[in-house]
Amino acid sequence: TKSMKGFPEHFLWGGATAANQIEGAYNVDGKGLSSADMVAFVPKEQRTGGHAIEITSEQIENILAGKVDARFPKRHGIDFYHRYKEDIALFAEMGFKVFRISINWARIFPNGDDAEPNEAGLQFYENVLDELHKYGIEPLVTLAHYETPLGLTQKYNGWAGREVIGCFAKYAETVFRRYKDKVKYWLTFNEINMMPISPFTGGGVVIDRAENKLQTIYQALHHQFVASALATKLCHEIIPNAKIGCMLARLETYPYSCNPKDILKAQHENQMNLFYTDVHARGEYPKYMDRFFEENHIVLHKEQGDDELLKQYTVDYISFSYYMSITVSDEPEHESAEGNLFGGVKNPYLKTSDWGWQIDPIGLRVTLNTMYDRYQKPLFIVENGLGAYDKVEEDGSIQDTYRIDYLRQHIVQMKEAIRDGVDLMGYTSWGPIDLISMSTSEMSKRYGFIYVDQDDDGNGTLQRSRKASFEWYKKVIATNGEEL
Ligand code: BG6
């Protein structure tokens, strides 16, 4: 009914992207290579289960020597680099209040540790930001979205090296100073919990160069936590009215049954997921990690001042991606949820996407409540959406009603969570324009309101067109979530 509380007046509706999945122009205007540029397309038949992208030192050398006969879709993206004006005009037409981009670090510091920033790279983002402001769209900028400069991998094994903290702080300071009048909302590391799943994706870490895999992963993470706190400090000093947050791939985990063993397992999994936001928001490692570190023979090397930094510079808000929930069981024989990115067992109550991700709108409400109870900091959903195959009809239209259904159901649950008392700043659905998939490098896994004419082989005109969901989302924004 009308009297029920709806979305707050200045709710930030919009969409989210990452540089390496849209820009292309991977070697243009002085840009250096980043980890994403090394990811080759693997045809479906050749995928070996899971979605973790791994790469060896030898593969990197072979790629650089031109010995690998493969396509690298993230190098080409959807050519946003040259088409950003047209694309932003379409976002503006939908009424976007906010647009999430990432800055590709290797555009600013081509090797990651150069003495001077690359002016052409700085200028490109300045142009994008100006274009957004032209339409009153607020930028939300991620500093690190799976784009570690390859030079840092070669020199320090990426974030495994403590030196990278300093390189990142310099990069962060450079962009804070340059864009201080243009960007109010910042994020440090996209899905910081990617590191244990894919250290190369999460931090440019090549695992065959590590003596002890888990030790290296958690040490690299520690460096990211410290770097995030440092960036928070710098951001507040340079841009006093800015807000800077963290970003987690939130994996709300359910017990398969009321068997206490299942409950315990789910609780553990939730802790292992919330550990990251615990550090970012509470400013210290949670106690339950001591046991995990001990049992896995992990000894973190901390330097003097690290703990103080983490404590002093906690995040202003907490952002996360939400695509699915996870269900775990203590009994291994339960059918596995085929293709669910983060594993677990099949939840009999949920349907799955074409890629096997278990669709769970109510889980979003559960998660919003869990996170708000735990931190009492504003939340921001910075990714959510349905990757699906789209069909272009004879008349050129795309009737993506499945996507509308997915988004509608999630937005309904957001509204419920707001009524539950959750402080939610905004919602940026993932890939408002079709882009290259992070996990599979496919083009055919589409999330957009805007269709891009390009196939998995990179063929197509790159022409943009509006899907049915385009008009729908426009109405959602215009009515501030009242008409769904
Ligand atoms: C998140 C990432 O994990 O999920 C994005 O932050 C990614 O970069 C998105 O694109 C969807 O995953 P995928 O594999 O379908 O592209």
Ligand 1 neighbour 353 (Cβ under 6 A): no
Closest ligand 1 atom to residue 431 Cα is 10
Phi and psi, residue 399, nearest 5°: -95, 80
Q: Quick one: pLDDT band at residue 54, thresholds 50, 70, 90?
A: confident
How far is 292 from 300, CA to CA, in rounded Å?
Answer: 12
Going from the Cα of 127 to the center of ligand 1, the distance in angstroms, rounded, reads: 25
From 194, 163, 259, select the one nearest 36 (Cα to Cα): 194
The residues that are catalytic are: 383
How far apart are the CA of 19 and the centre of ligand 1, in A?
Answer: 12
State the closest ligand 1 atom to the C-alpha of 191, by its place in the atom list counted from 1: 6
Task: Name the pLDDT band for 143 (thresholds 50, 70, 90).
Answer: very high
Confidence band (pLDDT; 50, 70, 90) for 49? Answer: low
pLDDT digits (tens, 9 = 90+) for 415-451: 999 999 999 999 999 999 999 999 999 999 999 999 9
State the average pLDDT for the chain. Answer: 95
Q: In this predicted model, which residue has the larger pLDDT, 344 or 412?
A: 412
Q: Find the largest Cα–Cα distance for the chain.
A: 65
pLDDT confidence tier of residue 282, bands split at 50, 70 and 90: very high
CB-based contact 128:180 (threshold 8 Å):
no
Lowest mean per-residue pLDDT among 218-232, 337-351, 379-393 = 337-351
What is the whole-number distance in angstroms between the Cα of residue 21 and the centre of ligand 1?
9
Decide if 393 is inside a domain.
yes
Split into its structural domains, the chain has a count of: 1
CB 55 within 8 A of CB 86: no
Kindly report the protein residue whose alpha carbon is nearest to atom 14 of ligand 1.
Answer: 439
Q: Is residue 4 part of a domain?
A: no
110-134 tens-digit pLDDT: 999 999 999 999 999 999 999 999 9
Ligand 1 atom with minimal separation from the 146 CA: 8
DSSP-assigned beta bridge partners for residue 426: 12, 380
Q: Is the CB of 384 under 6 A from ligand 1?
A: no
Tell whether 1 is covered by a domain.
Answer: no
Does any domain span residue 5?
A: no
The predicted-structure confidence for 101-110, as pLDDT tens digits, reads as follows: 999 999 999 9
Question: Distance from the CA of 447 to the center of ligand 1, in angstroms?
Answer: 10
Instruction: Report yes or no on 124 lying in a domain.
Output: yes
Q: Could you tell me if 453 and 51 are in contact, meaning their C-beta atoms sit under 8 angstroms apart?
A: no
The pLDDT assigned to 5 comes to 80
Range of the domain at 258: 12-478
pLDDT class of 1 with cuts at 50, 70, 90: very low
Q: What is the DSSP letter of 397?
A: -
Per the model's pLDDT, the better-predicted residue between 42 and 174 turns out to be 174
Strand-pairing partners, residue 428, are: 14
Work out which ligand 1 atom sits closest to the CA atom of 194: 3
Give 2 Cα–ligand 1 centroid separation in angstroms. 36
- Per the rule left: phi > 0, alpha: psi between -120 and 50, beta: everything else, 238 is alpha
State the burial class of residue 335 (Cβ atoms within 10 Å of its Cβ: 0-12, 13-18, 19+). exposed
Q: What is the pLDDT of residue 50?
A: 56
Q: What is the CA(441)–ligand 1 centre distance, in A?
A: 10
In-domain check, residue 484:
no
pLDDT at 335 exceeding the cut of 80: no
Write the CATH number for 442: 3.20.20.80
Q: Between these two residues, 185 and 331, which has the higher pLDDT value?
A: 185
Q: What is the pTM of this model?
A: 0.97
**Nearest CA owner, ligand 1 atom 10:** 438
The 10s digit of each residue's pLDDT in 210-264 is: 889 999 999 999 999 999 999 999 999 999 999 999 999 999 999 999 999 999 9
- Pocket probe for ligand 1: among 142, 430, 433, the residue whose CB has the most ligand atoms within 8 Å is 430
Atom of ligand 1 nearest to the CA of 51: 14
**Contact predicate 318/246, CB 8 Å:** yes
Distance 333 CA to ligand 1 centre (A): 29
State pLDDT tens for residues 366-377.
Answer: 999 999 999 999
Q: Is the shortest distance between the CB of 425 and ligand 1 below 6 Å?
A: no
Which residue is it, tokens 């996507």? 403
Write down the pLDDT at residue 382.
Answer: 98
* Ligand 1 atom 12, closest CA: 438
In angstroms, the CA 59 to CA 56 distance is 5
Residue nearest to atom 7 of ligand 1 (CA): 438
Question: What is the distance between the alpha carbons of residues 341 and 338, in angstroms, rounded to a whole number?
Answer: 9
Does the complex come out with an ipTM higher than 0.95? Answer: yes
Measured by CA distance, the residue closest to atom 4 of ligand 1 is: 438
In a domain, 25, yes or no: yes
Q: How confident is the model at residue 343 (pLDDT cuts 50, 70, 90)?
A: confident
* Per-residue CA distances from 161 to 124, 222, 296, 299, 322 (Å): 29, 11, 21, 15, 30
Atom of ligand 1 nearest to the CA of 385: 11
The verdict on the CB of residue 201 being under 6 Å from ligand 1 is: no
pLDDT(48) > 80: no
- Identify which of 383, 386, 434 to mutate to test ligand 1's pocket (most ligand atoms within 8 A of the CB): 383
Sign of the dihedral defined by the CA atoms of residues 99, 351, 193, 216, in that order: negative
**pLDDT score for 331:** 86
pLDDT at 28 over 70: yes
Domain assignment present for 72:
yes
At 338 the pLDDT is 57
Q: Is the pLDDT reported for residue 334 higher than 80? A: no
Three-class secondary structure of residue 120 per DSSP: helix
- Residue 246 makes CB contacts below 8 A (sequence gap 6+) with 187, 188, 189, 192, 228, 276, 277, 280, 281, 315, 318, 319
CA-based Rg of the chain, rounded to a whole angstrom? 21
Which of 310, 290, 286 lies closest to 300 in space, CA to CA?
Answer: 290
**Does residue 255 have its Cβ closer than 6 Å to ligand 1?**
no
